[in-house]
Chains A and B, each alone.
Chain A
């Protein structure tokens, strides 16, 4: 299958600052990729290049087989900017009708789109009276126009409450099942972990990691943490048996171990039998993996 989005050796400079350096990636139809990175890592710059809003210095970018920003590419790409804004004097429905006409679609389906994002009750009110979450939904509604093959979403869930976030990801699931490729940036790592297929980490303009969460977990090789609660009266003997453990104020033994050592260690712990009251295995979280990769570049 040909990728919906291909970027190879992309470099973008702002005067003397390199905003993106030698970035390469591919996004297949129907795949959802999360773009992570600290503020100023180059996420928004990369999105604007994909949309053809700003030029780039070297490398190749191909959107649905076309140059970014070309008429054909723009027909097939939908965008949700960070802090999306609309003219305050228009109502939600008028704004969506306008966007439908610009994409050559029938403006009469505007109420249907607003219904899909749960805005039917406010469709006839001016956007100037909307809350940030409601404006975000208008922004989402306009990305559903036509059948975009690529969705570029910059912080799409900011300003949404937890229930709306879940609805939003359900909406994305439906789109990706239809073959739409989705590139989204987010700071909420837990939702990214659950609802995307792959993760891209930008740091200082470099793509420092790319892959599924499992790939990143194994290549980061971060230690797994085991928390052992000693049974009543066995704390000392257990501590003597595991000299590598540190003992917290709560009386728990904390043992960090590499992925490969996890099962042998578990065997040693379970061999202690009644001395162990409880055991928790805590794999490295996405936060840990994320800071591991973005710190590697001197952050």
Chain B
């Protein structure tokens, strides 16, 4: 445990000096405030409080931004050590590869947690300032924070796996962007296209729920929208959220980080310095 903490301390320091803490926090705060401002207009006739509506918009934002931030922070984790030549020395120390990965994960999760807490927190302040009753929605905001951290953990793990597979930062960066495009953008587009062509057929009722749970980003969206009962405020894929039991999307959120880290460890074990 002390070895994991020591690795995490150094990694957090590096993330801080590389301005990652600043960039991640700044991005989240900026986008959250923009959404809070934009989201305040059409809430007049919706029965839920203002913050819950903002949370629904923040969920859609987080689906794109959290995986992107996680991949940007993690693609260098193994490939960077290989390129700098720091890996052989590190691996002669009495520290296991799992401990190294967990140390990096802990530091990067801390950066992500800080960024989403401050970002969503800014949206909370904006919502409460214009409508004191919005404080009721804080439960869904807290849920959004911890589920964002879990989503981040999944993509951090995936980023480490790609980093170990590519062994070069440039290759790892390319793979990370490709993964983000496929998992976060193209996957949903494909599902939407299938829904449109299939109408209300067996695909929409049988395959779609499984497909949504199989993608950590969609599971995150479904979980937050159905838990917040703000489904009505969100359109598109979110509309299907009601059909999936809450425990299933929650399970997907918790299982994916473990799978991703296991994948990263398997890829890292194959790297010979």
A90, B91: Cβ atoms closer than 8 Å: no
> Interface residues of B toward A: which range?
20 to 34
Q: Are A74 and B92 in contact (CB under 8 A)?
A: yes
Chain B positions within 8 Å of A51 at CB level: 88, 92
A81 CA to B92 CA in the complex, in Å? 10
B86 adjacent to chain A (CB < 8 Å): yes
A85 and B92 form a contact (CB under 8 A): no
B132 interface residue per 8 A CB criterion: no
> Is the Cβ of A102 less than 8 Å from the Cβ of B93?
yes
Q: Which residues of A contact B18 (CB under 8 A)?
A: 89
A219 at the interface (CB under 8 A from B): no
Q: Is the CB of B93 within 8 A of A74?
A: yes
A101 pairs with B88, CB closer than 8 A: no
Query: In the docked arrangement, what's the CA distance between A102 and B17, Å?
Result: 22
Could you give, for residues 9-24 of chain B, a 1 whenever the CB lies within 8 Å of some chain A CB and a 0 otherwise? Answer: 1100110011000000
CB-CB under 8 A from B13, the residues of chain A are 89-90, 94
Residues of A50-68 at the interface with B, using a CB-CB cut-off of 8 Å, are 51-54
Q: By the criterion CB–CB under 8 Å, are B84 and A87 in contact?
A: yes
B18 to chain A, nearest CB (A): 6
Interface contact A53-B273, CB-CB below 8 Å: yes
Q: Is the CB of A89 within 8 A of B14?
A: yes
Q: How many residues of A contact B (CB 8 A)?
A: 32
Partner of B89, one of A52, A84, A90: A84
Tell me, yes or no, whether A71 is within 8 Å of chain B by CB.
yes
State in angstroms the CA–CA spacing of A89 and B13 once bound together: 8
Apart from A53-B272, A98-B9: 7 A-B pairs, beta carbons within 8 A: A53-B273, A80-B89, A89-B14, A89-B18, A94-B13, A102-B7, A107-B6
| 27 chain-A/chain-B pairs, Cβ below 8 angstroms | A52-B92, A53-B273, A54-B273, A75-B94, A77-B92, A79-B89, A81-B88, A85-B84, A85-B86, A86-B84, A87-B10, A87-B84, A89-B17, A90-B13, A94-B13, A98-B9, A98-B10, A101-B2, A101-B5, A101-B9, A102-B6, A102-B93, A102-B95, A103-B93, A104-B2, A126-B17, A142-B89
Asked whether, in the complex, the Cβ of B94 is within 8 Å of the Cβ of A71, the reply is yes
* Contact indicator A102/B86 (Cβ below 8 Å): no
Report how far A126 CA is from B95 CA in the complex, Å: 24
**A94 engages B10 (CB within 8 Å):** yes
A99 at interface (Cβ–Cβ under 8 A)? Answer: yes
How many Å lie between the Cα of A52 and that of B10 in the bound state? 25
